[in-house]
Copies of this chain bind each other. A is one copy, B any other.
Amino acid sequence: MSKKIALVGIGKIARDQHIPSLAASAAFELAATASRHGTVEGIDAYPDLASLLAERPDIPCISLCTPPHVRYDDARRALEAGRHVMLEKPPGATLSEVHDLAALAEAKGLTLFATWHSRHAPAVSAARDWLANQTIRRLEIRWKEDVRHWHPGQDWIWEPGGLGVFDPGINALSILTAIYPHPLHLTRADLRFPENRDTPVAADLTFADGRGTDLRAAFDWLKEGSPEWDMHIDTDAGYALLSEGGARLSINGVETSAHAGPELEGEYPALYARFADLLAAGASDVDLSPMRHVADAFTLGRRTTGAAFNW
């Protein structure tokens, strides 16, 4: 039997991913939305979460697609009202607020799910399983895209808490922390800020794993044309390329079978399936490691200022 769920924040990511995923889900039924402007045809619409919670006690699950800097207040409000909550990535503007939400969910016996959609890209689990048995010499992340194409007009990404190039970069870090077989931590970060913005447009990161492995990441938000969402991995057993944001894996030039079948577009359906599993188990899943690496990068960052960014 499907559970009623409400979507909060009807913008680009809700339309591109959440609404189609819920339409195809047997576990959930989209019962209402809350958004200042956006609505979904045929679905009850509320202007804000407070009125939705007040008027719809029949909806036990809330999925938040609002920008991260306003997510805390809504998540807290939903948990206080006894609802289970699923959070888009990143789960908040600060680490501390998500710790607070996780403690609140636990105290109330509710499910809180901090999602990392890229971890459900089709080739990620194959990459993790293969790497578990390898000696890794070098791993280089190259995550480069055109912000004007992928985030058109989204000014909040340039504001404090919007993370700048770490908004896509945290997807790479969510994959890295899922597939890398050892703990790792940042040792250096070089961040480039547009002179008129509060968040970086490019970042070069170096990590250490206590084993001397060469670990680095380059994030760039001004790459025109095709995006580059790749991880290049040298091991004692050869070279692996995890490409297209985790969708494809080739090992020594041989494509693995991951890049076939309908699951290519399956990241968000997988998130909702996981949310259903967590609800059934009465469990939460709040892994902050990708966001912790981003906070570490801001803390350790050496800053340079570059040209102004305008849309």
Contacts and interface: CB of A to CB of B under 8 A. Distances in A.
B295 A160 contact: no
A163 B95 CA distance: 18
Given A198-B302, A292-B96, A299-B294, A189 B210 contact: no
Contacts of A301: 160, 198, 298
Nearest to A162: B300
A189 B189 CA distance: 20
A100 interface: yes
A186 B96 contact: yes
A228 interface: no
Given A76-B210, A183-B100, A210-B76, A302 B160 contact: yes
A185 B96 CA distance: 5
A25 B184 CA distance: 36
Contact of A296 (B94, B188, B210, B302): B94
A94 B186 contact: yes
B94 A300 contact: yes
Nearest to A182: B100
B188 A160 contact: yes
Interface in A124-160: 160
A293 B185 CA distance: 18
Nearest to A97: B185
B292 A95 contact: yes
Candidate in A103, A183, A185 with the most chain B CB atoms within 10 angstroms: A185
Contacts of A186: 94, 96
A296 B98 CA distance: 11
A115 to B, nearest CB: 20
Interface string A274-303: 000000000000000100111110111111
Nearest to A76: B210
Contact of A95 (B184, B187, B198, B296): B296
Interface string A184-199: 1111110001000010
B302 A299 contact: no
A99 interface: yes
A93 interface: yes
A300 B298 CA distance: 9
Nearest to A209: B100
A227 interface: no
Contact of A160 (B72, B76, B189): B189
Nearest to A294: B299
Contacts of A292: 95-96, 99, 295
Contacts of A299: 93-95, 160-161, 163, 294-295, 298-299
Interface in A101-130: 103
A300 B92 CA distance: 11
Please provide the 6 A-B residue pairs with the shortest distance between their CB atoms, ordered closest to farther.
A295-B295, A94-B296, A96-B185, A97-B185, A100-B183, A298-B298
Interface of A: 72, 76, 93-97, 99-100, 103, 160-161, 163, 183-189, 193, 198, 210, 289, 292-296, 298-303
